[in-house]
Homo-oligomer: A and B are copies of this chain.
């Protein structure tokens, strides 16, 4: 049997909200190491990989590996019924056909349990190679979200170019073009505002903004986002939840990645 208790139940709700627009149905994989999901988005262009470590839960028990297929939309609907400060407990039998979400209000005055039917879902588990990236940018997640949204009003794709002391986001479209440059800097007092660039070699890749905007739905999960890039490899857009795990999005670059010539 599987049972996991999360004091900050709201975390799981935010995770679902950040995934449900990209993926319809997916398997949650429960094992002694934790609670994880890997899935391609519906158009098979991008990949989500989220993982919550067992030691991040307040209680975690998983007797046998379990793969629970759910409609992320329905699971998100159920999690919306959770109070913002509720403690969440998930439970599933080894051979069961459902998973139960129990919400306890802080003072135990209200206890809810929602049962969600499981579904059989084919899933190809892709191996994600552990790469050393040419460049990694850590920056405020809200700023990344804002930039992707702003650039979407101009163009459909963004060229992300990392140099030693900054990262430039560029796009162009019918009405004109745009560049946003964020400079590397740190602020001891406000670590959540820091922009840290770890660069082995300069890299510049082009991506579809609509996917980056979907990824940015995860902004509420973390103050910072980590963007890792290497030439010709998918970018990784990662949001880390302290002591808990992370959600990472992978998206292949557009070929023709040196400059945006607007002739796409």
Contacts from A to B (Cβ < 8 Å): 71, 74, 77-78, 80-81, 98, 108-117, 143, 150-151, 153-154, 175-183, 185, 195
Contact = CB atoms under 8 A, between A and B. Distances in A.
B81 A150 contact: yes
A154 B78 CA distance: 8
Main secondary structure of the interface of A (DSSP, over half): strand
Nearest to A114: B178
Given A181-B110, A183-B109, A176 B115 contact: yes
Given A112-B179, A115-B177, A117-B176, 19 more contacts: A71-B175, A77-B153, A78-B153, A78-B154, A80-B150, A80-B153, A81-B153, A108-B183, A109-B185, A109-B195, A110-B182, A111-B181, A111-B183, A112-B150, A112-B178, A113-B178, A114-B176, A115-B176, A116-B175
A53 to B, nearest CB: 27
A182 B108 CA distance: 9
A176 B117 CA distance: 5
B117 A175 contact: yes
6 contacts: A74-B176, A77-B154, A80-B150, A80-B153, A112-B179, A114-B177
Nearest to A107: B185
A175 B74 contact: yes
Contacts of A143: 110
